[in-house]
Amino acid sequence: MTVSRHRSCYLCVSGMNAAVRATVRVGLYTGAKVYFVHEGYQGLVDGGENIRPATWESVSMMLQLGGTVIGSARCQDFRVREGRMKAACNLVKLGITNLCVIGGDGSLTGANQFRTEWSGLLADLVRAGKITQEEAKKSSHLNIVGMVGSIDNDFCGTDMTIGTDSALHRIIEVVDAITTTAQSHQRTFILEVMGRHCGYLALVTALACGADWVFIPEMPPDDGWEEHLCRRLADQRARGSRLNVIIVAEGAMSRAGKPISSEDIKKLVTDRLGFDTRTTILGHVQRGGTPSAFDRILGSRMGVEAVMALLEATPDTPACVVSLSGNQAVRLPLMECVQVTKDVTAAMAEGKYDEAIKLRGKSFENNWNTYKLLAHINPPDVKSNINMAILNIGAPCAGMNAAVRAAVRMGLIQGHTMLAVHDGFDGLAHGQVEPINWTAVSGWTGKGGSMLGTKRTLPAEILEEISQNIAKFNIHALVIIGGFEAYVGGLQLVQAREKYEEMCIPMVVIPATVSNNVPGSDFSIGADTALNTITSTCDRIKQSAAGTKRRVFIVETMGGYCGYLATMAGLAAGADAAYIYEDKFNIKDLEVNVQHLLQKMKTTVKRGLILRNENCNANYTTDFIFNLYSEEGKGVFDCRKNVLGHMQQGGTPTPFDRNFGTKMGTKSVLWLTDKLKECYRHGRIFANTQDSACVLGMKKRSLTFQPLAELNGETDFEHRIPKTQWWLKIRPIMKILAKYNIKLDTSEHADMEHVIKKRTPLTK
């Protein structure tokens, strides 16, 4: 069986090379012959040197490169049948019967048309004498699988397309830089981002930077928006804000279908308000740069799933696209996804904007609803008489402040009094509690660490003082943001309810830790930022070995006993091994790894990268592994070691952590507000049921609330990790991509799902 790697879209995005690398290596691992098709469909039509065999080494050192190393081109020839006949002839001559295509909906639609016409094209080629009957018989069927590469995230059926997260990184870097100068000069900044038909980049950017207004194609502003916008900007300045930020998607338009440009908005703000206003149009800078860790992992996972889909395909299997839903890899019928994507455009054209938002998918809809809640509603004049306290627990991490900001503002919108608790449970015990207002949390989304201050102190020893202060400050609900200490602290407060009636209030724990080790959630706020820090550091380390060659680096990562960071950074940085506590190893395994590197040094790739989780093994320390590799590799390679340390906890939050923190903070307060209504009895709040104290977490495909008491049995308290961790199933991918001969578990492969959503008929 043969697998062809074919890149078809004429616009390239960051993360595609990770998909190319994974497809090539897993294809070779399965025993298939793998080809590169250079310059997209044009290369397929022209054939010759454009279609070349791919080797294991040919995809080395490409994970950190933006764009696509095998080229891309707009192709008019493939649009006509004659061109597709030439492409079919080239494939038949090489015995290629499987195509893996990365591109947008146009490229993928073209691939499906090619597949549909395949039998007819072969018949025409036989009649023309271009191929023999025997060749046609051997290549009687063409399998197609697609991966979506688009920074706009405009393909329905997937939460994230390859390249979107990297584009958000580029945008947020610019927003952060602009924000500092805008604050200094009290300016209004209008930032135009890509998205001709889809407002995803604009919407997530607005959430991630706390923009005052966002214009997206799916939801044009209501008539009279000019007055509303100016009033909003003036209100923000009156509240003490020194800057305004407006995000515009390039495809933004009014309800009348008239384009809204950044220059139009600038003229409006300048003329009506007299504000010093500047515009920035980002353009193609959004497409370039180093891929983010998320895009590398997404591309790698999609590449593996694409090969599996091709190997399992039959003549009756429809062309599919592999995509992501939550943290799950899914397969969807290609043309169903294309149809829904077209339905969005049709809904917008018909003025059915709510439907267009829904058709974009749950992720887009949730982002839009969160943005509306935080940006479009002013705090009510009537108060709810509810006091809600927020505290950070454990080690600080990037994204904590975004969660605090969203929780504070959502609470104020609900009419609650929001209380900031400084220095965690310690601060709660010592009365470090004060009201916090709307303006106090301005600009917090982009700030790393914890603005409230945080400590690791657990409440067990200070329950008396905590209960007294809950009563003193009349606290009705708690938002606890932090890592494993926040989870254990929440459990201790629940267990104390029997003795202290003051603890009988609703509470929610929001996981926020670089270790990603909180039970009840697949992801924690802060882990993505730490992962990107490790990945970019590993890139630099590997680059330093490119000149010297024959060098192996041993890098120690954080995470406590949780191997999430080491495993995911290993996949994103192309590590040869990642040692973690959950995947036990012994001296024989270390010897196998050393032998593997000795063999690797005989190839053209003369460098190695080994990651080690800080607590993976008490005896096989970083120093021990460094000494072992140094001794065994003598004369073949030399070693260097790096302990990354606390740099993994610092830095500005990534777009994912800002967005995730914002959604978690918002959802937690809405849940507590509903829970308080349930628990209000006889003129007071009394909450002692299990479901009144929960962890809010991302589980597979949605945000869910799970009672702390229920999670007790799912926790390894000694090692501070959940007993079951989803990412362990991804580890074999890292090993296969590093050329280890292990068995890939396909028992949990993605089955074909369906994406078709019903559109409401157009009424006259």
Which residues are annotated as part of the binding site for Mg(2+)? 105
Residue 204 phi/psi, 5-degree rounding, is: -70, -35
Number of other residues whose CB lies within 10 A of the CB of residue 201: 27
Pairing outcome for strands 715-716 and 721-722: antiparallel
SS3 percent helix, strand, coil of the chain, rounded to 5, is 45, 20, 35
Of 414, 408, 405, 406, whose CA–CA distance to 378 is shortest? 414
Point out which residues pair with 643 in neighbouring strands: 556
Element (H, E) at 299: helix 293-312
3-state DSSP assignment of residue 464: helix
Element (H, E) at 26: helix 16-29
Residue with the two structure tokens 């492409």: 87
Active site residues: 152
Residue with the two structure tokens 């506590």: 581
Point out which residues pair with 63 in neighbouring strands: none
User: Are the C-beta atoms of residues 128 and 160 closer than 8 Å to each other?
Assistant: no
For residue 550, what is the DSSP state? Answer: S
Of 548, 571, 533, 568, whose CA–CA distance to 639 is shortest? 548
Residue 661 phi/psi, 5-degree rounding, is: -60, -40
Known binding residues are 74-75, 104-107, 150-152, 187, 194-196, 250, 278, 284-287, 456, 513-517, 551, 558-560, 614, 640, 646-649, 720
User: Are the C-beta atoms of residues 663 and 159 closer than 8 Å to each other?
Assistant: no
Known binding residues for beta-D-fructose 2,6-bisphosphate are 456, 513-517, 551, 558-560, 614, 640, 646-649, 720
Q: What is the CA radius of gyration of the chain?
A: 27
CA distance 146 to 136: 24
Contacts of 203 (CB under 8 A, 6+ apart): 214, 216, 364, 367, 368, 371
Number of other residues whose CB lies within 10 A of the CB of residue 292: 28
User: Are the C-beta atoms of residues 70 and 109 closer than 8 Å to each other?
Assistant: no
User: Are the C-beta atoms of residues 629 and 642 closer than 8 Å to each other?
Assistant: no
Question: How far is CA 745 from each of CA 124, 593, 731, 733, rounded to the nearest angstrom?
Answer: 42, 21, 10, 9
Pairing outcome for strands 433-435 and 417-421: antiparallel
3-state DSSP assignment of residue 47: coil
